[in-house]
Chain A
Amino acid sequence: MNYDSWAALRGKIKSKKGIWRIGEGVESHGYDLINDLVGHYSFMQVVVLNATGRMPSRALAHWFEAVHMCLSWPDPRIWCNRIGALGGSAGASVVAATSAGIMATDSRAYGIRPIVEGMEFIQRAQTEVSSEGGSAAEFVAREVKKHNGKPYLMGYARPVAKGDERIAALERVARQHDFTRGPHMRLAGEIEALLSEQFDESMNINGYVSAFLSDLGFSAEEVYRIFSVVVFSGITACYVDSADRPAGHFAPLQVDDIEYSGKEDRQIGGK
């Protein structure tokens, strides 16, 4: 039957991740969660384990934690944070508001999806440039041409500002743990130099993270899963700020603050 694979799973659960055996313990990826992991591994190591099935080194988990810090700004003008702040102002729960802000970062414009595209971009760039006769300059020229002469390369430039202070911070953490630059990071640097010279644009955190993790063999999908809630703490901060103020006091708008540009007044039936 065409439905055999579904029928075989009726009333059953199959897992490659773990199980809670009541009275015995909790298994996670073959580890005893309570006795092997708690107190022995960091939270971020377990986050990466759950997302990829692989336990990273404590050093790499520390670097992942730093990325979460770099993307958790308590400024409510940032789009996901604004949603958290509006939730606080509206009296929504912290869970609802933070979750809503996280969902907003499932966006191609900012947040998590650009990192996925950044991973795909730098890995494709590496493949094309390392092929016979390829060069970073030719690759950049082709990509710019694809975008009608604009430097819209994933991992370069960023909304609102030019330059990205978070890269230096993440490089500092990488140096603390003796991570070295691999081929993807070297190529990312070459591309940045070309864009800087031609368009006054530089790498953003997305480009840096994508190159760093590509050098360590992560896939785009794995990175998407690891960073699924990467912005959450900044959203919570903005929620708390407005939730602790009187209701409706975050960026309130008067009726006249909205500009209407639609249809003139009319009646149903055209009268």
Chain B
Amino acid sequence: MSSASANVRSRGEKFTPRIETKITRETSAAHNPFLVEQCRMHGYDHLELIDRCEFSDVIFLLLRGELPEPGERRLFRRLSIALINPGPRHPATQASITAGVGKTLTVNVLPIALSIFGGEFDGAGGVEQAMRYYRRASRKPAAEAAAAANPPPGFGTLYGDPDTYAEKLLRHLLQGDGEYRILDWVRQLHELLRPRQLGILKAGICAAALADLGFQPRQGNSLMQLMAAPGLLAHGLEFANKPLTSMLFEPDSSYEVEYPAAGEQAAAEQT
């Protein structure tokens, strides 16, 4: 190896020889140390979870470390369904459909869709920031947050106007039993901002509910991805057996190319 490599020194950091987890405890089979005899999650036997829990309960358990209380269970389940289907026009669903109709390996369809859903336009990209903000700002009256010049995280417009369906989802989630402090504070903020043509976004709803449920901000973006996964996947797989012509492919007459000015191009070539 070169003398340059000889000048590089290890920092001597101690890397763990074993992975540590608080989530899963496996017990090995007697005849083969790689096989599992029993599996527990946060202390609960996996087989008991199969018999006695809903899917959403076990997601809650895995990420929060405890099974949900009845009120938490209801809100988490309702939030999961509220966000389950971004709809066929969403860029992430369009990506899913494009992957499906393009005959991409089906195991790639969901990762493709979720990657695009990680963006901030009607997607999951802003949940973490909104959670951090709501946890802090909701200690004070919503009117103080409404007075800020810039829209608070999780608020804004979709296609130029407040998102009507997000507004409907927010109100629907707040119906029925249960008191959700941050979600209600966000509703108050929404009402105060509405005259300024700003409204709650779906990422804001997700952030407020997850904050009420005690999730950490760092879990927020990923949880919204997880909740949207079924709808994204369903649309992609719907197209997996359809011909390429069943997806958009705009004709040349609808395709406009506008190159930057020639001067800009020429100057760049001097680089």
Please give the residue numbers on chain A whose beta carbons come within 8 Å of chain B beta carbons, in ascending order: 1-6, 11-16, 18-19, 21-22, 27, 29-30, 52-57, 60, 92-93, 95-96, 99-100, 103, 159-165, 167-169, 216-217, 252-268
Residues of B within 8 A of A254 (CB): 28, 33-34
| Minimum CB–CB distance for B258 against chain A, Å | 6
Q: How far is the CA of A167 from the CA of B5 in the complex (A)?
A: 10
Residues of A within 8 A of B8 (CB): 161-165
Indicate if the CB atoms of A16 and B11 lie closer than 8 Å.
no
Q: A96-B111, A161-B9 are in contact. Are A13 and B256 (CB under 8 A)?
A: yes
Residues of B within 8 A of A99 (CB): 111
The 14 sampled A-B contact pairs (Cβ below 8 Å) are: A12-B250, A12-B255, A13-B254, A19-B257, A21-B252, A53-B260, A92-B107, A96-B108, A99-B111, A159-B11, A260-B21, A263-B43, A267-B44, A267-B45
Q: A16-B258, A16-B259 are in contact. Are A165 and B23 (CB under 8 A)?
A: no
Residues of B within 8 A of A255 (CB): 26-28, 33-36
Indicate if the CB atoms of A160 and B11 lie closer than 8 Å.
yes
Indicate if the CB atoms of A261 and B259 lie closer than 8 Å.
no
Q: How far is the CA of A256 from the CA of B67 in the complex (A)?
A: 26
Q: How far is the CA of A11 from the CA of B265 in the complex (A)?
A: 29
Q: How far is the CA of A162 from the CA of B13 in the complex (A)?
A: 11
Q: Which residue of chain B has its CB nearest to the CB of A30? A: B259
Q: How far is the CA of A265 from the CA of B43 in the complex (A)?
A: 4
Indicate if the CB atoms of A216 and B43 lie closer than 8 Å.
no
Decide yes or no whether B115 CB sits under 8 A from chain A: yes
A260's contact among B4, B24, B254, by CB below 8 Å, is which? B24
| Minimum CB–CB distance for B266 against chain A, Å | 10
Q: Which residue of chain B has its CB nearest to the CB of A57? A: B271
Q: A12-B254, A30-B259, A57-B271 are in contact. Are A268 and B48 (CB under 8 A)?
A: yes
Q: How far is the CA of A53 from the CA of B19 in the complex (A)?
A: 45
| Minimum CB–CB distance for A174 against chain B, Å | 14
- 9-residue interface stretch from B72-80, B135-143, B155-163: B155-163
A165-B8, A262-B65 known; 9 other A-B pairs, CB under 8 Å? A11-B254, A13-B255, A15-B256, A29-B259, A163-B8, A253-B19, A257-B19, A262-B43, A265-B40
Q: Which residue of chain B has its CB nearest to the CB of A217? A: B271
Decide yes or no whether B53 CB sits under 8 A from chain A: yes
Indicate if the CB atoms of A258 and B18 lie closer than 8 Å.
yes
B260's contact among A1, A16, A163, A216, by CB below 8 Å, is which? A16
Decide yes or no whether B25 CB sits under 8 A from chain A: yes
Q: How far is the CA of A55 from the CA of B270 in the complex (A)?
A: 9
Indicate if the CB atoms of A256 and B271 lie closer than 8 Å.
no
Q: How far is the CA of A258 from the CA of B25 in the complex (A)?
A: 8
Residues of A within 8 A of B161 (CB): 2-3
Instruction: Give the size category of B's interface with A.
Output: 35 or more
Indicate if the CB atoms of B4 and A169 lie closer than 8 Å.
yes
| Minimum CB–CB distance for A152 against chain B, Å | 14
Indicate if the CB atoms of B18 and A257 lie closer than 8 Å.
yes
Q: A15-B256, A55-B268, A165-B8 are in contact. Are A262 and B22 (CB under 8 A)?
A: yes
For window 66-116 of chain B, which residues contact chain A by CB distance below 8 Å? 67, 105, 107-108, 111, 115
B160's contact among A5, A13, A27, A54, by CB below 8 Å, is which? A5
| Minimum CB–CB distance for B120 against chain A, Å | 15
Indicate if the CB atoms of B250 and A11 lie closer than 8 Å.
yes
Indicate if the CB atoms of B258 and A162 lie closer than 8 Å.
no
Indicate if the CB atoms of B265 and A30 lie closer than 8 Å.
yes
Indicate if the CB atoms of B53 and A268 lie closer than 8 Å.
yes
Q: Which residue of chain B has its CB nearest to the CB of A168? A: B4
Q: Which residue of chain A has its CB nearest to the CB of B29? A: A255
Decide yes or no whether B7 CB sits under 8 A from chain A: yes
Decide yes or no whether B20 CB sits under 8 A from chain A: yes
Decide yes or no whether B42 CB sits under 8 A from chain A: yes
Indicate if the CB atoms of B268 and A13 lie closer than 8 Å.
no
Residues of A within 8 A of B35 (CB): 255
Residues of A within 8 A of B11 (CB): 159-162
Indicate if the CB atoms of A263 and B42 lie closer than 8 Å.
yes
Residues of A within 8 A of B115 (CB): 103
Q: How far is the CA of A22 from the CA of B28 in the complex (A)?
A: 60
